[in-house]
Each structure stands twice: as structure tokens, then as C-alpha cells.
């Protein structure tokens, strides 16, 4: 099985083109085999690029634990970059079908970090508690006090096609025990489908620093939908403006919550290498080697 390793601000994915090869029968199990680092390819998730009746392609994304996610902003930027090169053209917008609906992306320019800058129209934030989903009260729930382990945290909860819990901190986010509190919040009973968690320092109205605990993955270098959720929560609570640079361990994403109520996500998407999975790994053997068959530039 051929694949492309891609990354956006350090959020990395194994992308499998299912137009010219068969889709895996059990992609969740394959994700669990491929994503462990130092044992297989290593990634935050597995993305399948499939034919679609309503868009250029359909994206399915599976977390490292094998669970399927509704959406992934950084993953979608990588898919748009991949389709841009696969199509060999420069359309003004590339629509991609996701479990959160059809979303449009476009390639903007060469990124200073390497790769190409890709912007995604992420649509409107979801604010209704039952649609997030969460049992917390509010539309959306904002500044909800909750005792988590030994601390009282204030939670802002919304969805960007997948659920997010945003926690604004006074202490430096670099020193905060993200693993401990991220896991506790991800699996808290107020989130029936679990949740992603963002821990945030507001540096100025137009800049924030964030660490992310992703549902089904653990702490990651970046999260596109999480960055969008941070800006929506920040604007709704008057902590930030509606156009914000979001600093993440893997790099910076530019987020705009525009006057049309849509959230726009911009940042670099890079192709790392093309590879071919060994048969043992595809069919369910122990995580083994992968064979890189072509190294690409940005």
C-alpha cells in the first residue's frame, strides 16, 4: 500500500490515496498499527482520500488509537495540498467532503517554513450544547467552573465539527501538566463523545500560546480545529480579537473569525516523503519497517 507522509505545523499524518488503490478494510486497526512512533511509520493519524459524489474528494481520518474523527483542520490542509498537486491545476477552491460537511480549501502561497500555505474555510462554529455535544449549560458553555483533580478550571466548550474544551490559564502553559489534565477532561462525563482540550495563555488580543491534548492521540504539536476553537472562545469571552496568531509547539496558525461567521484557518502544509507499506504491516503483523521510495521537497 502506497502512502504519503505529510505534516502541518508538526501535526503529522499518513495519507493514503484510495482513488487508484483499494481502501483498507479496517482503517481503524491499520491506524493503530501505523501510528506508533519508533515501531511503524509514526503519526498523529491516518487519512484516507476517497472518491466523493459531492466534492473533489472525501476525507476520512482515524486517530492513533483507531477512533474515527469528524474533522481535523491540519489534516484537511494536508489533503488540500495533496489534491492541489494531484489535480495539476490551480482551482480557486478545492471542496473536500468530511464527516463535518463539505469544506473548501485553497493554496495561497509558498510558506516561509517550507511547503505551501493553505487556507481552509472551516464554516461556522457550533455553539448548541447538544450538537457539540456536552451536558454543560450555555450556548456555548463559557467560563464554566469545574474541579479537575486538585484544581478549579474555567472551561469554554464549543465544536468546530469536533468537540473542544478551551481552558485559559494564568500560569505559563509551558509548565502546565497537560497530559494529566488533558486526559481527565477528554474522558470527563460531561463529554459523551470525549473532547479535545486546549490550554491557552493570552499574550495579547491578537496572539495566544496553546498546547493541545487531542482526543484519541494525546498531546500533539498542533491542532487546526483546536486553534479555531481557541479564537472563537477568546472572542466570545472578550479575551482576544477575532483575528489571532495561534502559537503551537509545531508552529503558528493564523485564525480569523470573519464577519460572515465562518472561521478561516491558514498555515503551512508539507509533503515529507512518499512510501510503501510492507505487506506484513498492512495485513496485521507486528509494526515493522516502511520503505521510503521517494523523498520530496517541501
Say which of 78, 223, 228, 271 is annotated catalytic. 223
**Known active-site residue 223:** yes
Determine the Cα–Cα distance for residues 162 and 103; give it in Å rounded to an integer. Answer: 14
- Helix axis angle for 73-87 and 224-236, nearest 10°, is 130
- List CB contacts of 130: < 8 A, sequence separation 6 or more: none
Longest alpha-carbon distance in the chain = 54
Say which of 35, 72, 156, 217 is annotated catalytic. 72
- List CB contacts of 60: < 8 A, sequence separation 6 or more: 27, 47, 48, 50, 68, 99
**Known active-site residue 165:** no
C-beta separation of 83 from 118 below 8 A = no
Determine the Cα–Cα distance for residues 101 and 71; give it in Å rounded to an integer. Answer: 9
Q: Which residues are catalytic?
A: 72, 223
Amino acid at each position: 500500500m502506497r502512502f504519503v507522509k505529510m505534516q502541518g505545523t508538526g501535526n503529522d499524518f499518513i495519507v493514503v490515496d484510495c482513488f487508484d488503490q483499494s481502501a483498507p478494510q479496517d482503517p481503524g486497526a491499520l491506524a493503530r498499527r501505523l501510528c506508533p512512533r519508533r515501531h511503524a511509520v509514526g503519526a498523529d493519524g491516518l487519512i484516507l482520500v476517497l472518491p466523493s459524489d459531492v466534492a473533489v474528494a472525501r476525507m476520512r481520518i482515524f486517530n492513533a488509537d483507531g477512533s474515527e474523527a469528524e474533522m481535523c483542520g491540519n489534516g484537511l490542509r494536508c489533503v488540500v495540498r495533496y489534491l492541489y498537486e494531484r489535480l495539476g491545476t490551480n482551482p480557486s477552491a478545492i471542496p473536500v467532503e468530511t464527516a463535518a460537511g463539505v469544506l473548501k480549501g485553497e493554496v495561497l502561497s509558498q510558506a516561509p517554513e517550507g511547503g505551501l500555505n493553505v487556507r481552509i474555510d472551516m464554516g461556522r462554529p457550533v455553539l448548541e450544547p447538544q450538537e457539540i455535544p456536552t451536558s454543560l449549560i450555555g450556548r456555548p458553555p463559557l467560563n464554566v467552573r469545574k474541579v479537575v483533580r486538585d484544581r478549579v478550571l474555567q472551561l469554554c466548550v464549543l465544536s468546530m465539527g469536533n468537540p473542544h474544551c478551551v481552558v485559559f490559564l494564568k500560569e505559563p502553559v509551558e509548565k502546565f501538566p497537560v497530559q494529566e489534565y488533558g486526559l481527565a477532561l477528554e474522558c470527563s462525563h460531561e463529554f459523551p463523545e470525549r473532547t479535545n482540550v486546549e490550554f491557552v495563555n493570552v499574550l495579547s488580543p491578537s496572539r495566544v500560546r496553546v498546547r493541545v491534548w487531542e482526543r484519541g492521540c494525546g498531546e500533539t504539536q498542533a491542532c487546526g480545529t483546536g486553534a479555531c476553537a481557541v479564537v472563537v472562545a477568546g472572542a466570545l469571552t472578550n479575551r482576544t480579537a477575532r483575528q489571532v496568531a495561534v502559537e503551537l509547539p509545531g508552529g503558528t496558525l493564523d485564525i480569523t473569525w470573519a464577519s460572515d461567521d465562518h472561521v478561516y484557518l491558514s498555515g503551512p502544509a508539507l509533503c515529507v516523503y512518499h512510501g510503501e507499506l510492507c505487506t506484513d504491516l498492512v495485513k496485521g503483523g507486528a509494526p515493522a519497517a516502511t520503505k521510503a521510495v521517494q523523498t520530496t521537497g517541501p
